[in-house]
Each structure stands twice: as structure tokens, then as C-alpha cells.
Amino acid sequence: MWTLVLNCGSSSVKFAVMDPGTGEQALSGLAERLGSPEARVVVTCGGQKTVTEAPNADYARAFAALLSELGRLDLRRQISVVGHRVVHGGQLFSAPALIDEAVLEGVRACIPLAPLHNPANLAGIEAAQRAFPELPQVAVFDTAFHQSMPEVAYRYAVPETWYREHGVRRYGFHGTSHAYVAQEAARMLGRPLEALNLITAHLGNGCSVAAIQGGTSVDTSMGLTPLEGLVMGTRSGDVDPNLHDYLARQADLSLEQVTAALNRQSGLLGLSGLGSDMRELEQAAAGGHGGARLAIEVFVYRLARSIAGMTAALPTLDALVFTGGIGENSGGVRAAVISRLRLLGFELDGAANAAVRGQGGFIGTPGSTPALVVNTNEELMIAREAAQVLAAHSHSQTVQPQLAPLPEESTG
């Protein structure tokens, strides 16, 4: 049986039909620019791409197009469960959940924590429930993996009432990716995940590192929102918490303007003045562009500093894992980070680092602290988790509770 994986954003839906056991993809695709005249649905199946123009399509029309494609490929009746990516589960969800009214209520309750993402995720779930009424649906939360963080890692040093009354604490994101690459790294290291202390670095448009002890997250660099921590494509990462106040007074900027700039005009884009795309910046830096060079240097320095800081969360360090578009593809970033982490026993094997291009593999010299590249696969992780939730639920439905016979004396 296949699992349909859905990642619903405000104007797009990424989807894939996957075998949770093997990772085989029957189809994948993207409904993009939803709500605009340019809306379209792109489905890739067996190397063939089908583009359906769907002007002004909403989720319902996008799912109708997906359904007709599933029907055409005779896949519709082979799908057993739908897995949804949901960004914020707050403190309510520490594991994936079979969606019912209470789970929807929980996702709604987390909207203040993710005002852009959770409403889109909810709208996607509700449209999917209407499009696939016969299928169970599972929510897989970006934050859930990090709910295992100890209080010392998740609390901010702010008034306690902010925490108790408004949930002001660190949550962390990219949990699905960190969990997946930790599992894969254990497989590549040939050791049980339960015995490993890992630092995983998810470096894409958004970037975060996580400290993972025995398969559970014990710290991560993102916080209340995905703005905290590392330098990212267009996000600043850590800045002085007084910045809003300073810019309000000095530049007459509103809260909203500063927040928007920290999210969309900062990071690699802000530093370089050129763009947010690491590939483009590497080319420009090689051509002598000073802003691009500085952006990459700050990105690398802050990343290395964060990785070193994460070691405070672990008793020892067995391996560092790179993933995400930059982590998987930029040998230059990996080399520069490793060269800043010699104190932790890392040493780069230049040839191995160049050879992992597009695949996973080890990039350190023999005898150094292992560093490896793992290609992330969030869709597969969502498919696996959805299938596991469904199996656990079916099991609990079919296994009748075994009632112990009442003791003699209590019957009389």
C-alpha cells in the first residue's frame, strides 16, 4: 500500500505517493501559485512530467487534479493513509497524531505560534479530508521531535509568566529531517541509534542544528519561531533582542517592518546584497564579489560556533551530519565548517568531500571524528510515521483488551 504525503503551504502543495517501506515514489509533484491566475499542478511520474494549468485554483481544485491523476494511474485505491506535514505542534504534540476533531483543535490552538504556517496546514488538511474522505489522515509535526529537549535547553531567561501564560519557550523545527538523518547516519555508522551522540546540521533555505542523544533531540538552534539560531537564506538567525526597539527609535521602523526584514531580507541575502541562494553566492565569491564572500564566511562561522555550542548538550560526540540543499551539495561550506572544528577532532578528507556530490558518504579522514553527508528525505519520514500511526491505531482497534479473570474473593 502507498502513503500520500502532503505539505500544504499558503500558496502551494507539495505531494508524493510513496511506499513507506522502500521509499519508492509512485509519483510526486507540486501545485503552485494557488489562488493566482498562474496556478498550475505539476505531476512527475516515472520520469514523465504532466503540467495542468489551473487558473485561480485553490486546494480543492489542486486535489481534484491530483485525484484524477491518481485515478488515471490506478493508484487511488492503493493509498492507505495521508500524511500531512504540520509546522507547529507547540507543547501539545510530541509525536505524530491520527487526525480527529481534537487534533484539529490542537493545531488551531498552535496558530499564534505559527501564524503563517499552521493556518495553511489546517486548510490543506480540511481540503484533503473532503477530497479523500475514506482515508485516515495523520499530522506529522516539525516541532514534535524536539519535545524531548530538557527544560534547561528549552527555557528562555525571561519572566516565567510569559512561559506559563503564552508558551514562550524554545520549540525547534526541522524535526522530521533531523530525525531522519540521525537514523540514516546510525545505519551508515553501523551502530544502534540508541548508542549514538550526534549533531545534525540541516542547511537549506532554513537552517538548524540539533544535538541528538540516543535518537532523541536534546537541543536545537531554532526556538519559539524558525528565526532563531543560524544565518539562513533570508533569515537573520540570532540578533540582539533589543534590535526592534533600537530600529523603532533610530529608523522609525514598526515591529512588523523589522520582523519582515529579519525574515525576508536578512541572512545570506542581507549580508551579500546579492541573493539568498548559496550556489549563486559561491559563484559570485569565486568571481571576487566581496559581499558574497562575507555572507558565506559569516554563515560558516556562526554555524561552526553553533555546532561547538551544541556539544554542551552531549556527553560525547560520535558524528556530525550535514544535510539539506547546502549541507548535501556545498563541499566548500562543509570544508570551511570542518576546518573551524579541529578542536572537536574533525579533519576533512578533501577527496571524499568532493566525491559525495549528490549522494551520502563520509568526508573525514580515518581516525578523525566522523563527519558525514546524508541526503534528507522528509517525505519518506512523514510516510513512515503516518504508516506507523495507522498500524498502531489498527492494532489497538483489532486487539480486544484481555480482561483478567476476577479474583475469587471479589466475586462473592
Backbone angles phi, psi at 82, to 5 degrees: -110, 130
- The verdict on whether 349 is a catalytic residue reads no
- Reported as type and span, the H/E element at residue 7 is strand 2-8
Told to check if 291 binds ligand AMP by CB under 6 A, we report: no
Measured from each CB, the residue nearest to ligand AMP is: 325
Residues 6+ apart with CB under 8 A from 28: 14, 15, 16, 17, 43, 44, 45, 379
Q: How far is the CB of 236 from ligand AMP (least distance, A)?
A: 16
Residue window 194-213: x/- pattern of binding to ligand AMP, with contact defined by CB under 6 A: ----------xx--------
Q: How far is the CB of 332 from ligand AMP (least distance, A)?
A: 8
Length of the chain counted residue by residue: 412
Exactly one of 176, 330, 353, 377 binds ligand AMP (CB under 6 A); that residue is: 330
Exactly one of 181, 189, 278, 295 binds ligand AMP (CB under 6 A); that residue is: 278
Nearest C-alpha neighbor of 116 from the set 173, 55, 168: 173
Backbone angles phi, psi at 89, to 5 degrees: -110, 5
Exactly one of 18, 31, 144, 326 binds ligand AMP (CB under 6 A); that residue is: 326
Exactly one of 324, 360, 364, 370 binds ligand AMP (CB under 6 A); that residue is: 324
Told to check if 347 binds ligand AMP by CB under 6 A, we report: no
Q: Which is nearer to ligand AMP, 226 or 324 (CB)?
A: 324
Q: Which stretch binds ligand AMP (CB under 6 A): 69-77, 186-194, 325-333, 340-348?
A: 325-333
Following DSSP, what letter does each residue of 357-401 receive, concatenated? TTS-EE-BPTTSPPEEE----HHHHHHHHHHHHHHHHHHHHHSPP
Catalytic residue among 19, 58, 142, 349: 142
Helix, strand, coil distribution of the chain in percent, nearest 5: 45, 20, 35
Grid cell 505559527 in the structure block, residue: 114
Q: Which is nearer to ligand AMP, 223 or 233 (CB)?
A: 233
How far CA 350 is from CA of 320, 331, 332, 356, in Å, comes to: 16, 9, 10, 10
The residues that are catalytic are 142
- Residues near ligand AMP (CB under 6 A) are 204-205, 233, 277-279, 282, 324-326, 329-330
